[in-house]
Amino acid sequence: MPSALDLARAIEPEMIALRRDLHQHPETAWEEVRTAALIADYCRTLGLKTQCGVAKTGVIAVLNAEKAGPALALRADMDALPIPEENEIPYRSSVTGKGHLCGHDAHVAMLLGAAKLLAREKARIPFPVWFVFQPAEEVPPGGAELLMAEHRLDGVAEIYGLHVSPMLPVGCLMLRTGPMMASMDKFGLLIEGRGGHGGMPQLTHDPVPTAAEMVMALQSIVSRRVDPLDAAVVSVCMMEAGSAFNAIPSRARLTGTARSLAKPLREQLPRWIREIADGVAAAHGQQAQLEYVHGTPVLVNPAMNTEKMKNAFRTLGGKVHDCRPMMYGEDFAFFLEKIPGCFGFLGAGDGSDGTAQGFHHPRFGICEEALAWGAALHLQLVLDRVETLETKPEPM
């Protein structure tokens, strides 16, 4: 009997065509209308029960919807980024200022390929399989939180997701048990001073040096307040102030991200940011207002489901690598807070010269051989569960 990887390779040209179509027509968060229509049409041709408009622009398709038993779900995110693509390829983005520069086009193509392969196995699968096409992963808190808030995944017993990585060779899978990806929060600080003429600074309360001092002071959170054995990030990524070279502004704004790998530490970060901002601002006779938005939680892979994903990939003949925790954020974490499952990084690099560009780079790209590996892993996870149920001893 052909292996799951052999079956996936047989439909690789179709998956490549799907991926390139999506790549040429990127849609950013909450705007994935064309993408959703393509997905829904494809799933309906497979005979799947298909629902659109979930979490605004998402799609859920179900194989064996009429069967009882705990469902297994497979997820792909759909949205592109508001970043212009710089790749010189025939299927380059046709939308100005937008590009599939994080691989979500590949995720959709892999999951559609897996849906096609699993539809052929419908008769031997004794439980429902859900294909979850999720919108808005790139804008925290993202589409996964809304899916959970709408109770769209009630009845799902386990869920799995993949993210392609051009930094990892094709045929490899990278993941870990426990905390794997950080919480991802956003903060903004508005510093209120008093503006005036640039030649008369003594008559002002200049917020610009206050903002600069605040940036440096915020670095002490990680270096002096966080246990050195814990992981955290407080990064100021945007500074905005002024509109004329000779006018001291009345306001300055800092925007950044705060991240950690533990829930208790995550809860401390906004308090520390506020304390430092208030103290620095007061020292300069000014005020600071903190806006703190909780994004995605820490992504934690349960041990049992992580082993299932590892074993499925090894069955395909792939290599599994345990990784260190990462400070990226991923809203798949919302699913794992409520549903057992696993998230891993799928190799999508050619392993040649180490020049592959990482996530969100204008020249991000993948080796399309990864599509067959991804579809095959989705397929193998389901087949392994079928085999487990078939070999389970009858109750006495």
Q: Which CATH superfamily is domain 4-180+298-391 in?
A: Zn peptidases (3.40.630.10)
Mean pLDDT of 276-288: 97
H/E stretch holding 258? strand 251-260
Which range is least confidently modeled, 115-129, 210-224, 257-271, 378-392?
378-392
Reading the block at residue 353, the tokens are: 């010269």
Helix, strand, coil fractions of the chain, as percent rounded to 5 = 35, 30, 35
Domain with CATH 3.40.630.10 in the chain: 4-180+298-391
Domain with CATH 3.30.70.360 in the chain: 184-296
Q: Is the pLDDT of residue 354 over 80?
A: no
pTM score, two decimals? 0.94
Q: Is the pLDDT of residue 396 over 70?
A: no
The tokens 């979850």 sit on which residue?
A: 132
Which CATH number among 3.30.70.360, 3.30.365.10, 3.40.50.1860, 1.20.1050.10 corresponds to the domain 184-296? 3.30.70.360
Question: How far is it, in rounded angstroms, from Cα 110 to Cα 114?
Answer: 6
Question: How far is it, in rounded angstroms, from Cα 253 to Cα 264?
Answer: 28
pLDDT for res 395: 52
Mean pLDDT of 101-130: 97
H/E stretch holding 335? helix 332-338
Mean pLDDT of 90-100: 98
Q: Provide the residue type at 219 as one letter.
A: Q
Give the end-to-end CA distance of the chain in Å, rounded to a whole number: 33
Q: Is the pLDDT of residue 56 over 70?
A: yes
Closest to 22 (Cα-Cα) out of 41, 38, 43? 38
